[in-house]
Amino acid sequence: MATRSKLVAGNWKMHGGLMQNQDLLKEIIAGTVGLREVHIAVCVPYPYLSQAQLLLQDTHVYWGAQNVSYYAQGAYTGEVSAAMLVDFRCRYVIVGHSERRASYGEDSATVALKFNAAQAAGLTPILCVGETLAQRESAVTEQVVAEQLDAVIESEGINALAKSVIAYEPVWAIGTGKTATPAQAQDVHAFIRDRIAAHDLEVAASLKILYGGSVKANNAQELFGMPDIDGGLIGGASLIANEFITICRAAKN
């Protein structure tokens, strides 16, 4: 069986400022130094990519963005291409976050195009999937996650998944303080891994599947202890140095 290293990625969403970012990043670097077996990343708003690059290059902390255009270039006002993210040495880019699916009309086909654009440029996409509360209550969680996952598998092929990260983020747990229980999260993570295993066992065994949704310092360890949870995608708690550092440490096996 492949041993998967853990990844803890912060999703700053639309938060930050030059001064506070500097303090936060410096604290994260200092607080996680020596944590070799855990991969750490921060996904920052576009305007701060240059600052992230400046402060994080030559450290153990990776950086990335939260969205990407599926176009390479052209008259697309307000969009940012994958090549531009590569210019700032991003390693990761989040695609298909539920906030983008819900508020910016990104459907699974759009997300697949973004996944493709990211990978073609050499970025590692972090593909977000997850159900709403209404969907969970109607017992269609697996169908919803399967549809989101299959759209990418069908358009990109299973091998593309090998060079990506999946994040299971139940919408009802995002920003609500209501975390999925470790067992609830594990169930969906196992479902995702099994679905990928049906195409390719090796890809399934090596793929990192992160959990996201109200991960905090006080619940991270229990979540990360589950067999199919390979780290976390952290929103609110990634903006607080001590919280984020503790979460990174919790990912140490």
Q: Does 215 bind ligand 13P (CB under 6 A)?
A: yes
Segment 195-214, which members bind ligand 13P (CB under 6 A)? 212-214
Segment 81-120, which members bind ligand 13P (CB under 6 A)? 97
**Minimum distance, C-beta of residue 126 to ligand 13P, in the bound complex (Å):** 9
Q: From the candidates 39, 97, 106, 189, give the one annotated as an active-site residue.
A: 97
Neighbours of 136 (CB within 10 A): 19
**Minimum distance, C-beta of residue 57 to ligand 13P, in the bound complex (Å):** 24
Tell me which residue of 41, 46, 186 sits closest to 124, measured CA to CA: 41
Q: Does 174 bind ligand 13P (CB under 6 A)?
A: yes
Segment 9-38, which members bind ligand 13P (CB under 6 A)? 11
**Minimum distance, C-beta of residue 41 to ligand 13P, in the bound complex (Å):** 12
Q: Would residue 97 show up in a list of annotated catalytic residues for this protein?
A: yes
Q: Would residue 142 show up in a list of annotated catalytic residues for this protein?
A: no
Interacting residue with ligand 13P among 233, 241, 248, 251 (CB under 6 A): 233
Q: In this chain, which stretch among 14-22, 52-60, 79-87, 168-176 interacts with ligand 13P, using CB under 6 A?
A: 168-176
Q: Does 171 bind ligand 13P (CB under 6 A)?
A: no
Interface residues with ligand 13P (CB under 6 A) are: 11, 97, 169, 174-175, 212-215, 233-237
Catalytic positions: 97, 169
